[in-house]
A and B are shown apart, each in its own frame.
Chain A
Amino acid sequence: MSTALSPEQRDLRDAVADLMTRRSPEQEVRRLMAAEPGYDPAVWAELAAMGLLGLTVPDEFGGSAAGASELAVVSEQLGRALLCAPYIATSVLTPYLLLALADTAECAEALPRIAAGELVTTVAFAEPGAARPPELPSTVASQAAGGWLLTGEKTYVLDALCAERFYIAAQSPEGVGIFAADREAAGLAVTPLTTIDQTRKQGQLTLKETPARLIGSPGAGGAALDEALDRAAVALVAEQAGGAMHVTQMAADYARSRYQFGRAIGSFQAVKHMCVDMLLDAQSALSSARHVAAAFDASDPDRFADLALAQAFCSDTFVSTSAANIQVHGGIGFTWEHPAHLYLRRARTDAQIFGDPAWHRERYLRLREEM
């Protein structure tokens, strides 16, 4: 296993970077974050045409079955550009979840459509009070004559407003199961959450005896969800690293071009040292993202402990670098019109959606204690 990019991975990186430059410049990010559905279907189709929506999908289901390293390479670029799209929910979390559940029928029905950009899905795992899935969901699945009925409330659901299908974690008599319900299902209501980050929209899901299909076996949901969240976290840390690298570059560029007291502010050590500390952490985040991707591709036995450290570190780093970027920019960084705050908003969200840094640090300690 190697963290060095192969020629194919470099080509992939350059192609995605080029797409982001053309299709996700700041004015597009601002246009999409201000309105529903929060993404551009034409860009989504372009991502599908490039094979990026089927990156995590096996060949037999219409994807390209790329590895975690390719996913990380792509995610770095999406993170840099603050792409507004349901990428992690639909193209990363959903395929990993369905594959972990080993439900061939659902895989055959949903994954080819996801890879083709024809179906937007999300996974509803969190409930009020915590971003991580609860051990015992209060959302319950009960069996009725016609099948399963779900009742309860899910929240922090990524891209809930544009999703056409929800994969919902609910407590069944046999344990946690994953159930599929389409948007128009009876008793299913989506309420938008007012989020600080409008580039990654979230919603609340209310379920009242909503008919749903069981995916996989009824007790397999908890483990499958944990596995999917770990594998999807490889993409999230890469997005965070990409974002951290981008704001570091922004700060250094500004420090070179902004003049006060007759000199570039980057010549003042107080500013210069802030930029270097950003560089140290952003580069370290990038190394973390590349390392955990390689570790997952190699099924390295340390990959979960490494991922826990990487998730804590990349979350903290994206937040601290995007905050420092505002400080380096001074007054202009305090204005809505300047993009610096968009990154801090994204960073603060990314540091919560798959669990906060303290949760990952505690997980690391538990894994180490077991060794």
Chain B
Amino acid sequence: MDIRTEVRQWLAQNWDPAMDRAEWSRRVFEAGWAVPSWEPQWWGRGLSDAESRIVATEFAAVGAKGAGQDRSDLMACTLHDLGTDEQKRRLIPPSIRNETRWCLLYSEPGAGSDLAGLRTRADRAGDDWIVNGQKVWTSFAQKADYGLLVARTDWDVPKHQGISFFIFPMRQAGVEIRPIHQITGESEFNEVFITDARVPHANLVGKPGGGWPVLQLALAYERRLMGDLARTSRASRDLKPDADSLIGMARSAGKLGDSHIRQDIARVEAYAAVNRWNTRRAKETIDRAEAATLMAIGKIAMSRILHETARVQTDIVGPESMLAGPDNPVGDAVTFRTLNAYFTSIGGGTDQIQRNIVGERVLGLPREPEPYKDTPFRDLPTG
């Protein structure tokens, strides 16, 4: 029986939208659908990536949750690859049964693009580590039981070598969460202040000082998840500025006869069109290097589309762009798009860092010299 038929049959026999959520999660887990691409001894079914995606698609088709956590549960994925057997048995099942939740404690006010410059510290105290520092841009911090935490445990070695990776318990004294008020007016992210909080040594992933490669793996899983979400979410389709919206907006604003506006509309729609055609070529080509190049430039392309669309919308609505609030929905939406474009051009690696990565990995241009490559972290200039 092929996998699609098997998962459909299983869903037909088991899925009940009225079922208690915990009970449903337990059934999915026990049937091996939570992480189908993992080995059977680690709660999976040993399926290929492609088959695992089919499972997730079939679950999504009936509106059932719980499948595809081998792609979406970053804590479980990281532990599956690099955790000890004890850590896997203790931490993974509750996570993929949705009994515990996780958040990411990576960025700091002083460590954004240069994440390895982080200064949150963890000091060994018996069976525990004591953590002090501040993390930022954390989604879902209030709901999380654990944080994937990178902290400095050795200040006398170069920066990448003194970082350790922990599964940090969030629900304890010494963890204070404050929402960040974003320029759009929304609050999706938080700051997390950590003061003398504890994490058991048993929750250290990898060796002390060996956290950087663990983080790279967790980030790779995160990028893969972001790619999945960008391909499937409704939000990403809404981001595509379709012809009607700009032309329609210009028509309503009485600007469709303005040749400057007309030129700009076509210019922006060309950016959106070529991005679709790049994506199409990436999907269709059999040349993996060609596909990788096209995927790599996608994020910079999307930044340009979003910023330029908002700019042209601003030109179209003119003075309305000064106005905000529910009484001024047109101006309000334009301003929201203008400001929200930075979500893409800064979040997940700024456009500038992205250009460094593309320049180095795709064009083979040399990295910037790193004068402090061999300098102990404590001796780095801090500005």
Which A residues contact B (CB, under 8 angstroms)? 2-5, 252, 255-256, 263-264, 266-269, 271-273, 275-277, 279-280, 283-288, 290-291, 306, 308-310, 312-313, 358, 360-362, 364-365, 368-369, 371
Give CA–CA (A273, B259) in the complex, Å: 32
- A4 near B285: Cβ-Cβ < 8 Å: yes
Q: Scoring B residues 245 to 263 as 1 if CB is less than 8 Å from chain A, else 0, what string do you get? A: 0010000000010010011
| Contact of A276 with B363 at beta-carbon distance under 8 Å, contacts A4-B284, A287-B280, A287-B294 already known | yes
- A284 near B275: Cβ-Cβ < 8 Å: yes
Nearest Cβ distance between residue B191 and chain A, in whole angstroms?
Answer: 29
- A288 near B247: Cβ-Cβ < 8 Å: no
Chain B contacts for A280, CB-based, 8 A: 297, 300-301
Chain B contacts for A291, CB-based, 8 A: 277, 280-281
Nearest Cβ distance between residue B332 and chain A, in whole angstroms?
Answer: 26
Nearest Cβ distance between residue B67 and chain A, in whole angstroms?
Answer: 31
Report which of B247, B259, B284, B363 forms a contact with A279, defined as CB distance below 8 A. B363
Q: Report, as a range, how many residues of chain B touch the other chain.
A: 35 or more
Pair count A-B, CB < 8 A: 130
Interface of chain B residues 311 through 363 with chain A (CB within 8 A)? 352, 355-356, 358-360, 362-363
User: In this complex, what residue of A is CB-closest to B284?
Assistant: A4
Give CA–CA (A364, B363) in the complex, Å: 33
Give CA–CA (A164, B261) in the complex, Å: 45
Determine which residue in B266, B355, B360 has the highest number of CB atoms from chain A within 10 A of its CB, and name it.
B266
- A264 near B274: Cβ-Cβ < 8 Å: no
Give CA–CA (A104, B275) in the complex, Å: 42
Chain A contacts for B284, CB-based, 8 A: 2-4
B20 contacts A by Cβ under 8 Å: no
Give CA–CA (A182, B91) in the complex, Å: 85
B219 contacts A by Cβ under 8 Å: no
- A309 near B266: Cβ-Cβ < 8 Å: yes
Chain A contacts for B269, CB-based, 8 A: 309, 364
B267 contacts A by Cβ under 8 Å: yes
- A365 near B266: Cβ-Cβ < 8 Å: yes
- B363 near A290: Cβ-Cβ < 8 Å: no
- A312 near B366: Cβ-Cβ < 8 Å: no
- B243 near A368: Cβ-Cβ < 8 Å: yes
Nearest Cβ distance between residue A308 and chain B, in whole angstroms?
Answer: 8
| Contact of A256 with B366 at beta-carbon distance under 8 Å, contacts A273-B355, A284-B277, A313-B270 already known | yes
Q: Mind listing 27 A-B residue pairs with CB under 8 Å?
A: A3-B280, A4-B284, A4-B285, A255-B363, A255-B365, A266-B363, A266-B365, A267-B365, A267-B368, A272-B355, A272-B365, A279-B362, A280-B297, A283-B297, A284-B274, A284-B277, A284-B301, A286-B281, A288-B273, A291-B277, A309-B266, A309-B270, A313-B274, A360-B266, A362-B259, A368-B243, A371-B243
Give CA–CA (A308, B277) in the complex, Å: 14
Chain A contacts for B270, CB-based, 8 A: 309-310, 312-313, 361, 364
Beyond the given pairs A287-B274, A312-B267, 4 more chain A to chain B contacts, judged by CB atoms under 8 angstroms and listed by A's residue number, are: A3-B285, A280-B297, A313-B274, A371-B243
Chain A contacts for B297, CB-based, 8 A: 276, 279-280, 283
- A272 near B356: Cβ-Cβ < 8 Å: yes
| Contact of A267 with B367 at beta-carbon distance under 8 Å, contacts A3-B280, A275-B359, A288-B274 already known | yes
- A263 near B364: Cβ-Cβ < 8 Å: no
| Contact of A275 with B363 at beta-carbon distance under 8 Å, contacts A284-B301, A287-B280, A309-B273 already known | yes
| Contact of A276 with B266 at beta-carbon distance under 8 Å, contacts A3-B284, A284-B275 already known | no
Give CA–CA (A311, B38) in the complex, Å: 48
Report which of B267, B273, B366 forms a contact with A264, defined as CB distance below 8 A. B366
Report which of B262, B300, B352 forms a contact with A365, defined as CB distance below 8 A. B262
Determine which residue in B277, B284, B368 has the highest number of CB atoms from chain A within 10 A of its CB, and name it.
B277
B98 contacts A by Cβ under 8 Å: no
Chain B contacts for A368, CB-based, 8 A: 243, 247
Give CA–CA (A117, B251) in the complex, Å: 52
Give CA–CA (A276, B296) in the complex, Å: 11
- B273 near A306: Cβ-Cβ < 8 Å: yes
Nearest Cβ distance between residue A206 and chain B, in whole angstroms?
Answer: 34
Give CA–CA (A154, B183) in the complex, Å: 58
User: In this complex, what residue of A is CB-closest to B360?
Assistant: A272
Give CA–CA (A284, B293) in the complex, Å: 11
User: In this complex, what residue of A is CB-closest to B274?
Assistant: A284
B61 contacts A by Cβ under 8 Å: no
Nearest Cβ distance between residue B156 and chain A, in whole angstroms?
Answer: 29
| Contact of A272 with B278 at beta-carbon distance under 8 Å, contacts A4-B286, A365-B266 already known | no
- A269 near B278: Cβ-Cβ < 8 Å: no
Chain A contacts for B359, CB-based, 8 A: 266, 272-273, 275-276
Chain B contacts for A369, CB-based, 8 A: 247, 256
Nearest Cβ distance between residue B303 and chain A, in whole angstroms?
Answer: 10
B369 contacts A by Cβ under 8 Å: yes
B265 contacts A by Cβ under 8 Å: yes
Chain B contacts for A285, CB-based, 8 A: 274
Nearest Cβ distance between residue A353 and chain B, in whole angstroms?
Answer: 19
